[in-house]
Structure 1
């Protein structure tokens, strides 16, 4: 047990604050190379540590399931999103074979709260056993679904009570920061330590931000994505995040050079709104950190910040939301003042206000994931590499950059070691699957790893295994690629042909893991659901050719 100051009834146990961003790319905050001002996150990193090689699972719901349970997402029932893809696929809701971080810490005497996005059940209007209030959280304020309006979010709920239409000045990211601050301040007079899961929806599309916030970024993106990618990579090199072995991947082959762009003002505006969303996300984190400081809890609180997947390259076809046969975006058909909502990326529609519903698309996602290639959905580095900031002054941690590779199941293992909470063989009379993670506390304290930690990934048939410096990775229905990440973190030189024995060995290890961890074959899922991309999401050309029927979707 770490030696930390005691509070009444705490017995040296630290608080735990996990902040999860949504669709934030690897380079989208200041300390990871961004031009977007994120002073609060940068301060946490500067006074704590940041990880070069931490990985999520390439999609929002699976990442949330893995983060909270210490399992790979396929084991939890949430292998893709919250749709029921059975019997061939996943049920799309947390099952009874997993136990959440909130349940474990609650059993250990912690006060538990969730502020933000849940997205771990398909039952978003009627409580079921997979609601946060029934999976260990004493307090819940947020949304049950994903991908919704920031001004008037569908499924906004407190406890199990749907909340009425939001007031005129409502903005979701700010509201989540305020509620999280309130939760922290409410703990000051309580004896128990607390666990707060702040699951922000920012900066996931739609591109929604108040005009005054967007205005602060006016002109910041006029130079275009080519120059800005180079500038981010230069800052990554200067800060020590990227060493000499890293290279800047080429611009996505589906994206033209900035000086050839039509509608450059509109393109720049897309990224200005996205930057405003990131800045407001940082401000929300700042409110919570200020509350921790004011209540004397910051130094004894383990604070983690990360993202659920890489930058999102999805492009939405233009149209009117109220003309759709259903509402797949969990957004109102009209604004609170009665205006129609224009969905999609239409250069005649300025993104940002409530009546718009747009994404920032392939070229800016390519910027977000600097220096890597690929995006959310894929398990190449651009899809799974995330910032990971750790702040815990009383924890005896090292500072600066930590290089040891880790992934989401390792978060629960670390939190259990830090708090002294135990992981059960069964809970509430049901057996629980063994946790998959390895604690990061030793790495955070500067200890060298004693053995290799093999990492595994699968999403929508996109697959990878990483052990030591080697990463074997493939897109669905394509051949395996092999990369030496010690010299090629950006995955630019495929070494599979030069090392066929290594490819066979790693592929066999991957298949063994997939078979023992509940990974469902992709083809039957596609066949059962008739496959193909959503008609509302425009497919895009990634930096290497793709084959098969897969296409991006909501998450």
Structure 2
């Protein structure tokens, strides 16, 4: 009997119905720049009843990771490889990064699912090389314009460019993305009901610019006047009440601002903007009002994600398919400390959140969104790479409403979905050059919290470096940053650097990071 067959038999013995039941539908939902604590079920005051409901009937992962940035995460999410392996993050001496082209041996998930009979749909952001239909999706709405939620200039349907949306219409990006998802699902029910579906629903919110519908902003207009320290403390307390592991609230780093300097943006945004997480009481009244208005728009954008996801879930219920649908929700990186002005610019007289405004969350509120962790998007400290992960699957999860504390990473999504879909590995004509995928299937964890047999988890982005092995993590900020060492079992907030006290552990882990870096660089150079 082949080793693959032995694995199948073992899984049947361990998990029974999961390994033998019919292939489930899959809804993979990704938010953009959403922080670890930005959902109600992860500690937030923002209304997210549909996501909270999925968590109540499913699982919440407390130690799940992304790559710290949008395009590396999306490449890893849909291939099962670290972004550096597939040239979707920077590799020395290799055309790579945001404009890097994947090797031929790294197809996207729809191509892997197609032999098993899946129909695949994409709605929303892309930020991967090539185009969705060319990569195996059967239908796609690709919102390429990240700078305009109300009037995008660049968007595509089924890889064909659509006309720009003029200002003043009822168009709003989050709603349009959900509209397309619902249309695809309806067509699937009508024309392809015999086939399982995979739907990649990639919301562009709450990525900057902070654009939201007025009725959503109104819900939060006065909610954030108490300031970021107060709201952060409330979120931390709520996390404990919800049953999250006890983690000491990390200290605010007052000198850490946006990762990229845009001094002209600060001039354009005016005296209300601040680019450091200063004490709330140290802000002027104008600054407090400006900052509170920004967070109200951020909250409104997340509220709207939940509303639109609710409509998608209603469509799945109308298809009588909720029991048979595996739903996953996560974010591509931590909340962003960036402050910039792009696209149509910023009109200081425009209402915050309107099409003529261009506001960013900034480090004060992104520190709140990433509660209880340190730092922000682009860094690989926990605040930049920790994501909520909700998994809902009535047919496949027996203990809904519980937590999973086992560390996981977006590289684990592909092997998980392939195993759940009972997709056999297909021999590749590139077999001699294909590196073994680094991810692990999370299928066993859906039944009980248990450790995964993995060597390490690895990060690298713009000089920020990190590696987790067991409960120890080494991390460095920037190419010149010193390596730090933390025991995450005791110090997930990364407050007590053990580098001087455990030099042998530090050096072993640095050496492992360097070895992986070299290994992935070599793999990225393969055709």
Identify the match of residue 106 of structure 1 among 114, 118, 121: 114
Aligned to 2:335: 311
Does structure 1 residue 507 correspond to structure 2 residue 517?
Answer: no
Aligned to 2:139: 139
Aligned-pair distance for 1:519?
Answer: 8.2
Does structure 1 residue 497 correspond to structure 2 residue 496?
Answer: no
Query: C-alpha distance in 2, partners of 1:276/1:395?
Result: 33
Aligned to 1:125: none
Q: Is the 8 A contact 1:150 1:172 kept in 2?
A: yes
> Where does 1:5-154 land on structure 2 (aligned, <5 Å)?
12-79=22-89, 87=94, 89-90=96-97, 91-121=99-129, 130-143=130-143, 145=144, 147-154=146-153
Query: C-alpha distance in 2, partners of 1:303/1:94?
Result: 27
State the secondary structure of the residue aligned to 1:387: strand
Q: Deviations over 1:456-477 (max 9, x none)?
A: 1111111111111111111121
Query: C-alpha distance in 1, partners of 2:334/2:231?
Result: 18
Query: C-alpha distance in 2, partners of 1:248/1:307?
Result: 21
Q: Is the 8 A contact 1:397 1:446 kept in 2?
A: no
Q: Is the 8 A contact 2:18 2:396 kept in 1?
A: no
Distance 1:45 1:11, change over 3 A: closer
Aligned to 1:293: 317
Q: Is the 8 A contact 2:297 2:353 kept in 1?
A: yes
State the secondary structure of the residue aligned to 1:52: strand
Identify the match of residue 280 of structure 2 among 258, 282, 297: 258
Does structure 1 residue 434 correspond to structure 2 residue 442?
Answer: no
Aligned to 2:469: 467
Aligned-pair distance for 1:451?
Answer: 3.7
Query: C-alpha distance in 1, partners of 2:23/2:521?
Result: 34
Query: C-alpha distance in 2, partners of 1:172/1:271?
Result: 19
Aligned-pair distance for 1:165?
Answer: 2.8
Aligned to 2:230: 227
Aligned-pair distance for 1:148?
Answer: 2.0
Structure 2: which 5+ residue stretches go unaligned? 1-11, 255-275
Query: C-alpha distance in 1, partners of 2:122/2:209?
Result: 22
Query: C-alpha distance in 2, partners of 1:3/1:102?
Result: 26
Identify the match of residue 283 of structure 1 among 273, 286, 307: 307
Aligned-pair distance for 1:396?
Answer: 3.5
Query: C-alpha distance in 1, partners of 2:106/2:122?
Result: 18
Q: Deviations over 1:403-458 (max 9, x none)?
A: 00010110101001100113334169995443211011111210522645521111
> Where does 1:391-430 land on structure 2 (aligned, <5 Å)?
391-399=392-400, 400-426=402-428
Query: C-alpha distance in 2, partners of 1:453/1:401?
Result: 23
Aligned-pair distance for 1:287?
Answer: 1.1
State the secondary structure of the residue aligned to 1:53: strand
Query: C-alpha distance in 1, partners of 2:96/2:172?
Result: 36
Does structure 1 residue 236 correspond to structure 2 residue 239?
Answer: yes
State the secondary structure of the residue aligned to 2:521: coil
Aligned to 2:7: none
Count residues with an aligned counterpart.
481
Q: Is the 8 A contact 1:458 1:519 kept in 2?
A: no
Distance 1:467 1:296, change over 3 A: same
RMSD between superposed Cα atoms in Å: 2.4
Aligned-pair distance for 1:97?
Answer: 2.6
Q: Is the 8 A contact 2:132 2:159 kept in 1?
A: no
Q: Deviations over 1:275-297 (max 9, x none)?
A: 11000011111111111111111
Does structure 1 residue 342 correspond to structure 2 residue 315?
Answer: no
Aligned-pair distance for 1:95?
Answer: 3.2
State the secondary structure of the residue aligned to 1:309: coil
Q: Deviations over 1:41-64 (max 9, x none)?
A: 000000000100000000000000
State the secondary structure of the residue aligned to 2:133: helix
Q: Is the 8 A contact 1:206 1:359 kept in 2?
A: yes
Q: Is the 8 A contact 1:470 1:485 kept in 2?
A: yes
Structure 1: which 5+ residue stretches go unaligned? 122-129, 318-328, 334-340, 522-555
State the secondary structure of the residue aligned to 1:410: helix
Distance 1:380 1:268, change over 3 A: same
Q: Is the 8 A contact 1:4 1:300 kept in 2?
A: no
Aligned to 2:154: 155
Aligned to 2:384: 383
Q: Is the 8 A contact 2:87 2:100 kept in 1?
A: yes
State the secondary structure of the residue aligned to 1:45: helix
Query: C-alpha distance in 2, partners of 1:390/1:213?
Result: 26
Aligned-pair distance for 1:154?
Answer: 2.9
Distance 1:17 1:484, change over 3 A: same
